Structure 1
Amino acid sequence: VPIGVAENTRLHVFRPEDGSEEHYAIEIGRPDRALPVLTRLHSACFTGDLMGSLKCDCGPQLRGALAQMGAEGAGILLYLNQEGRGIGLANKMRAYSLQDQGFDTVEANHRLGFEDDERDFRVGSAILKELGFGAIRLMTNNPAKISMMEKTGVKVVERVPLVVGGNAHNHGYLKVKAAKSGHLL
């Protein structure tokens, strides 16, 4: 599937045996499976990725990661269907409403009965292994992603920062990501 950043692109679709959400791997170029591949684990964000919401940095992270992979000529972007840090779009909209009332993103999730982050990055590790990758250069600001990759047998040889998308509407959100979730911003 040719895309704007790279004409030589393949889309892999992964459906778990239990019939749960599909996840996607966008393969830019033909990365050598013996070398660490530039990789991004990107959780679906309808509001940021598709609507261009200014409340988060997701859309700019998605586009920035794809652009860097295109510039390098190779990479794997895993698009994981774990909307709203794993709580789903409807609950994310409820959390947005709570944020409008003064709660930060973590507090809003807790008020809805969720953990700070409900995502499961083990699925990303499984997909990378299925594609034949054992070592990656991970584009992330989230140390939890690095830790999970390492715990599940995918070697992270480099963390590639991806600090994009800050604006007046998400300044507080980004501060909370750094202070409460340990993101390296």
Structure 2
Amino acid sequence: MRTTLKRKAKKVDVELLTRFDAAAWAEYEGVYENSWKPEEGDPALLRSFAEQEGAAGRIRLAIARHDGKAVAAQFWTVENGIAYIHKLSHLEEHKNLSAGTTLSAALFEHVMDTDKVDLIDFGTGNDPYKRDWMEVDRPRYRLDCLNPGQAQAWPALAKRIITRLARGGTES
């Protein structure tokens, strides 16, 4: 990771904002829309959230540019000593620049040294890149309580039963 940063960090310019900026947000959206990430479910809701977090001073929005073009973007927030990583993306055609790694390093440095956070939360998911940055993997579990006496629970219960049968009846 350190070797990659030493070699590649100079290939992109990083802008890190602690306030909402409409032009930077448009670049963020452009990178996200053209990245490998699935389509954003509700871009207007996400933008509204970013605007509110920016007004409250909690947004950390970073854009990496190569030759003036946004090639990677990350959206974090900081609150109560915790940095939350919400969205990150990069353009696959510029993957060789390691712009996402450079952005992550800049954001980690900022939230640790400036914001003095106690924890950086990557959220859920087991994406391999997360292990490159984390010292501790904290598993998250979800508990669904379904009442078979309630008709609205039946579709979810049926799905679980079918899934279990398809796996050969094993619990997992």
TM-score normalised to structure 2 length: 0.34
More helix by share: 2
TM-score normalised to structure 1 length: 0.32
